[in-house]
Structure 1
Amino acid sequence: MISLRKITLENRRAMFNLEVAEEQRQYVASNLSSVASCYVLSVNGGHPYPFIIYADEQPVGFVMITYGITGYEEPSLAKDNYCILRLMIDKQHQHKGYGREAMGKILEFIRTFPAGGAQYCWIPYKGDNTAAKKLYESFGFRDNGEVFNNESITVLEL
């Protein structure tokens, strides 16, 4: 069973050791970089929500959700909406359905509106990442035609 858990002193090293396959590194930043980004966002008025993705008691992935990214160049719908900025499943745990199940849990969390109300959830992704696009579309995300920092923007109405 998949769950999203906060990063703690006890589980942080396990999260830092999670990695995607070599050919996927072009699509997602390291978890260490993502946690550093969470700090920068939080001290600049953003609302980051980093979680370790667990399958039962085993860390298998990482997700970074943000709300209302401000003070940066951003896509047109970034303000007052949620973003799944990073999502990864460790190379040893891929192709087991964990990404799909995690996406369900992520959207369930977002729909609690922990930082405030929103109309949309958006995800930036590299256009040639067909596996990610297929996953996002299966949950109802649709590209809005916007490209930002060489990434396509896909959107789900909440």
Structure 2
Amino acid sequence: MIRLEEITTKNVWDVCRLKVTKEQEDFVSANIESLAEAYASNNEGYYAKPLAAYDDDLLIGFVMLGYGKTGDEDDPEIAENNYCLWRLMIDVKYQHRGYAKQILDQVVAFANAKKAGEAEYIWLSYEPENEHGRKTYQKYGFVENGEYCGDEIVAVYKLDE
């Protein structure tokens, strides 16, 4: 069973050791960088929620969620009062096993539970060259909305009402 758990002193270094393929390194930040970004964002009054992804007791990946604006000048309009799937990575050892959909199900459940606030959408962004990411998110139900976050394409997922 897939679940998202808090990052703690017990799992932080294991989360930092998770890796993607060499080809994916251009598309996702290292987890240690994401944790530093979450720390700084939270200190500045923004919402960032880094979470470890587990299959039962097996650490398989990392997710970072945001809510609302991040203070970045590139924030798209959709960021206001909506959730952001800021990061999603699955360790190279556990890719191609159907985990992406299951993790996305948990992200949607988190947003539907309104843990950071009310929202209509989850949004994310990806580089135009990230065809695998685009296909994965579109298959799940994310739709490109015409916005950009810097040079990245924005896609949105409509939450339950």
TM-score by length of 2: 0.94
Q: 3-state DSSP class of the match of 1:25?
A: helix
Q: Deviations over 1:96-148 (max 9, x none)?
A: 11111111111111111111111111001112212211221122210011122
How far apart are the structure 1 equivalents of 2:62 and 2:22? Answer: 17
- Counterpart residue identity of residue 82, structure 1: Y
Q: Deviations over 1:17-43 (max 9, x none)?
A: 001001100000010000011111111
How far apart are the structure 2 equivalents of 1:91 and 1:71? Answer: 32
Q: Deviations over 1:50-87 (max 9, x none)?
A: 11011111111000000012422111111111000100
Structure 2, unaligned runs of 5 or more? none
How far apart are the structure 1 equivalents of 2:55 and 2:67? Answer: 25
Give, in angstroms, the shift of residue 155 of structure 1.
0.7
- Counterpart residue identity of residue 61, structure 1: G
The answer for the alignment partner of 2:12 in structure 1 is: 12
Range that drifts further, 66-75 or 108-117: 66-75
The answer for the alignment partner of 2:84 in structure 1 is: 83
Q: 3-state DSSP class of the match of 1:3?
A: strand
How far apart are the structure 1 equivalents of 2:35 and 2:137? Answer: 23
Contact residue 21 and residue 91 of structure 1 kept, 8 A? yes
Quote the sequence identity (%).
Answer: 38
CA RMSD of aligned residues (A): 1.1
Q: 3-state DSSP class of the match of 1:128?
A: coil
- Counterpart residue identity of residue 7, structure 1: I
Whether 1:40 and 2:40 are equivalent positions in the alignment is: yes
How far apart are the structure 2 equivalents of 1:70 and 1:53? Answer: 23
The answer for the alignment partner of 2:65 in structure 1 is: 65
Give, in angstroms, the shift of residue 47 of structure 1.
1.3
How far apart are the structure 2 equivalents of 1:51 and 1:86? Answer: 10
Q: Structure 2 matches for 1:128-139, cutoff 5 A?
A: 128-139=129-140
Q: 3-state DSSP class of the match of 1:107?
A: helix
Q: 3-state DSSP class of the match of 1:10?
A: coil
Moved >3 Å (runs of 4+): none
Structure number with higher helix proportion: 2
